[in-house]
């Protein structure tokens, strides 16, 4: 029977949620604090985790972050159920990898919808034969980009990518993320950058998408090219731009493939596993709209 792990220190609330999940044919498992919740999630592999934020020991954000960093629980859907309804808390919840976030008090229909969405997400991953996918949305701030890049780097280390490949992919994501912030979203901090992590049997792909109007990747006078890596510096000086413009050229040299969509507001970075290791090594999670 499928199970729902309820991490909740309020016994009455935990029992109520337990009664509700049984209506969705899930057997409830209850943990009264974060440390026990982590242990149970790792050993029992529940179908879904329903996670309170205000726990007596480790808070729910940290529990979620640890679950997302552990290959045993990387693919477990996590729903945050909390009384904390501020936008900063919601953003932080999605940033650490929650699939869904809703606040108390809530209707039974909200809980059922989250459970059904989690099951659909897992079924879709199985059908697509992708080892996993994570979507993260972040505000156009370099600090958030760095945090997400650190998180993605931990995921790369669960794949057969070599240390050199991981370092190159890490730098390329930072370069392309900076471009999305600077050029796509024009440093408007409330404009979002979306990063999508996918791992296949032979490669890792990272999609970086901004909310800008797009551009023609073949016509970038302010960016370095392999044939002419320096003349763009004069263009940048005339436009009053910071020194640089080498990001796209650097990224192309580090990756197996780099391709833009037709609109010009989305770039896909591809790093392939070494030939001897082209196999799926782990599952990856959380498709829910993660926001930083």
Give the end of a domain, one of 128, 160, 182: 128
132 in Cβ contact with 282 (< 8 Å) = yes
Angle of the 87-95 helix axis to the 142-156 helix axis, nearest 10? 30
CATH number of residue 34's parent domain: 3.40.50.2300
- Per-residue model confidence as pLDDT tens for the chain (292 residues): 899 999 999 999 999 999 999 999 999 999 999 999 999 999 999 999 999 999 999 999 999 988 877 767 877 889 998 888 888 888 788 777 788 888 888 889 988 988 888 777 666 655 544 456 777 777 888 887 887 888 788 788 878 999 999 999 998 999 889 888 887 787 787 788 889 998 888 999 999 999 887 766 665 555 545 455 445 445 445 555 555 444 566 677 789 998 988 887 899 999 999 986 554 444 444 444 444 4
256 in Cβ contact with 55 (< 8 Å) = no
Domain, as residue range, for 247: 132-291
Say yes or no: 168 and 243 in one domain.
yes
pLDDT at 43: 95
Q: Is the dihedral of CA 12, 14, 20, 25 positive or negative?
A: negative
CATH number of residue 257's parent domain: 3.30.565.10
Say yes or no: 144 and 196 in one domain.
yes
Say yes or no: 92 and 176 in one domain.
no
Report the Cα 7 to chain-centroid distance in Å.
22
Phi, psi (rounded to 5 degrees) for 256: -75, -30
Say yes or no: 13 and 51 in one domain.
yes
Give the end of a domain, one of 62, 95, 128: 128
Say yes or no: 120 and 138 in one domain.
no
SS3 assignment, position 254: helix
pLDDT at 68: 78
pLDDT at 19: 95
Distance in angstroms (rounded) separating the CA atoms of residues 19 and 27: 9
pLDDT at 147: 79
Diameter over CA atoms, the chain: 68
Give the end of a domain, one of 78, 99, 128: 128
pLDDT at 39: 96
Say yes or no: 161 and 287 in one domain.
yes
Distance in angstroms (rounded) separating the CA atoms of residues 152 and 174: 11
Say yes or no: 208 and 109 in one domain.
no
* Alpha-carbon distances of 107 from 82, 86, 99, 120, 290, rounded to whole Å: 13, 19, 18, 20, 23
Dihedral through CA 255, CA 189, CA 60, CA 85, nearest 10? Answer: -150
pLDDT at 85: 80
pLDDT at 288: 43
Say yes or no: 145 and 254 in one domain.
yes
Say yes or no: 138 and 211 in one domain.
yes
Say yes or no: 12 and 104 in one domain.
yes
Say yes or no: 145 and 276 in one domain.
yes
Q: Is the pTM of this model over 0.85?
A: no
Say yes or no: 137 and 96 in one domain.
no
pLDDT at 178: 87
pLDDT at 71: 67
**Residues recorded for the chain:** 292
- Considering its fold, how many domains does the chain have in total? 2
């Amino acid at each position: 029977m499928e199970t729902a792990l309820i991490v909740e220190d309020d016994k009455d609330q935990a029992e109520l949620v337990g009664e509700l999940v049984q209506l969705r044919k899930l057997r409830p498992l209850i943990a009264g604090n974060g440390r026990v919740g982590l242990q149970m999630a790792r050993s029992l592999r529940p179908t879904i985790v329903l996670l309170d934020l205000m726990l007596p020991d480790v808070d729910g954000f940290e529990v979620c972050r640890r679950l997302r960093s552990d290959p045993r629980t990387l693919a477990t859907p996590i729903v945050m159920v909390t009384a904390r309804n501020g936008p900063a808390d919601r953003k932080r919840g999605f940033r650490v990898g929650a699939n869904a976030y809703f606040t108390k008090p809530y209707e039974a229909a909200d809980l059922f919808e989250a459970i059904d969405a989690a099951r659909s997400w897992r079924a879709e991953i199985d059908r697509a034969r992708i080892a996993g996918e994570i979507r993260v949305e972040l505000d156009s701030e370099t600090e958030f980009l760095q945090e997400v890049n650190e998180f993605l780097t931990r995921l790369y280390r669960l794949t057969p990518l070599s240390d050199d490949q991981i370092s190159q992919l890490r730098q390329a994501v930072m370069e392309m993320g900076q471009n999305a912030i600077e050029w796509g979203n024009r440093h408007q901090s409330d404009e979002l950058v979306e990063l999508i992590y996918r791992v296949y049997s032979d490669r890792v792909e990272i999609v970086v998408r901004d909310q800008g109007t797009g551009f023609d990747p073949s016509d970038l006078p302010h960016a370095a090219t392999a044939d002419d890596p320096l003349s763009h510096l004069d263009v940048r000086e005339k436009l009053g731009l910071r020194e640089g413009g080498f990001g796209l050229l650097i990224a192309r040299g580090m990756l197996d493939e780099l391709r833009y969509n037709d609109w010009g507001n989305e770039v896909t970075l591809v790093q392939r596993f070494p030939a001897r290791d082209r196999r799926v090594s782990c599952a990856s999670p959380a498709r829910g709209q993660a926001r930083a």
